[in-house]
Structure 1
Amino acid sequence: MSHMGYTEAPDGWWREFVLAKPARTAKLAVTRKDGSPHIAPVWVDLDGPDVVFLTARDTVKGKSILRDGRVALCFDDERPPFNFVTITGQAVIDEDPDQLKYWAGRTAARYMGADRADEYADRNGVPGEMVVRVKVGKVVAVQNVSD
């Protein structure tokens, strides 16, 4: 379907876009306790139908996820034709030490290279961090915004 010149992407295309190289950060949107918006970049990976990232419990992101769990993510290509994907869903957390270390290394490998995965697993896969697994509710995937 076309909207004012751009095109909804085919089913499944969003997964390729999210996993494209070089790796794009996701912009994570959550709400603060007072209801005001907060947005921050996060490193992500996909695991089956879920989007996975890490954050600390004591950050604005972490506190919001623990309090509410509703999240939105945006991925975009800032070059023409300006494709983008937005995802809304429910976050589920995991603080298992083995999962923290695994996902810290796996996401770091996507963004920093496989040779640095262990370094980031040791640095980021620690108590106080959480693995956040987003159960995808809605995906909007749009191609060719500028066409």
Structure 2
Amino acid sequence: MAEKMTDAQWREFVSHGTRTAKLSTVRADGSPHVTPIWFLLDGDEVVFNTGKDSVKGRNILRDGRIALCVDDDRPPYSFVVLRGRARVSEDLDEIRHWATRIGARYMGEERAEEFGARNGVPGELLVRVTVDRVLAEMDVAD
């Protein structure tokens, strides 16, 4: 039987290892766009970066409503869905700082600077999403 996660449990779950999030943004025609992303949790905010001219970047700049899903695809299955509103920064120092930290999570400390340099450039956005709604369940198949 599925069990709701506590605040501490969902935060640990989304921050565990290299789990990616599936980011949903709203296209201009109102339809959803979903893509996997690398991210970090920073207090009550999800932080990630993306290209300003990417589909998700353009969608976020036009309509900041987003949803993210992080899941464990192994039995007994667990998932967290986070909803909120995104805001963006084009401050290169801030983008590079977070791109380096995100790179460390997903590629390891030894490659963090490489990813920070690659993703901390003009044309990139730093996206912060204040989480205002959480749906988090564990052991869905039990």
**Normalised TM-score (structure 2):** 0.98
How much does 1:47 deviate? 1.2
Is 2:43 the counterpart of 1:13?
no
Structure 1 runs of 4+ with >3 Å offset:
none
Gapped regions of structure 1 (runs ≥ 5): none
Aligned residue pairs, count: 142
Structure 1 residues 11 and 47: alpha-carbon distance in aligned structure 2, compared to 1, 3 A threshold: closer
Gapped regions of structure 2 (runs ≥ 5): none
Moved more, 6-15 or 119-128: 6-15
Identical residues among aligned pairs (%) = 54
In the TM superposition, what whole-angstrom CA distance separates every residue of 1:73-95 from its partner, at most 9, and x where no partner exists? Answer: 00000001101000000001011
Q: What is the one-letter code of the residue matched to 2:62?
A: R
**Normalised TM-score (structure 1):** 0.94
Give me the CA root mean square deviation. Answer: 0.7
The aligned counterpart of 1:38 is 33
Aligned pairs for 1:1-147 within 5 A:
5-21=1-17, 23-147=18-142
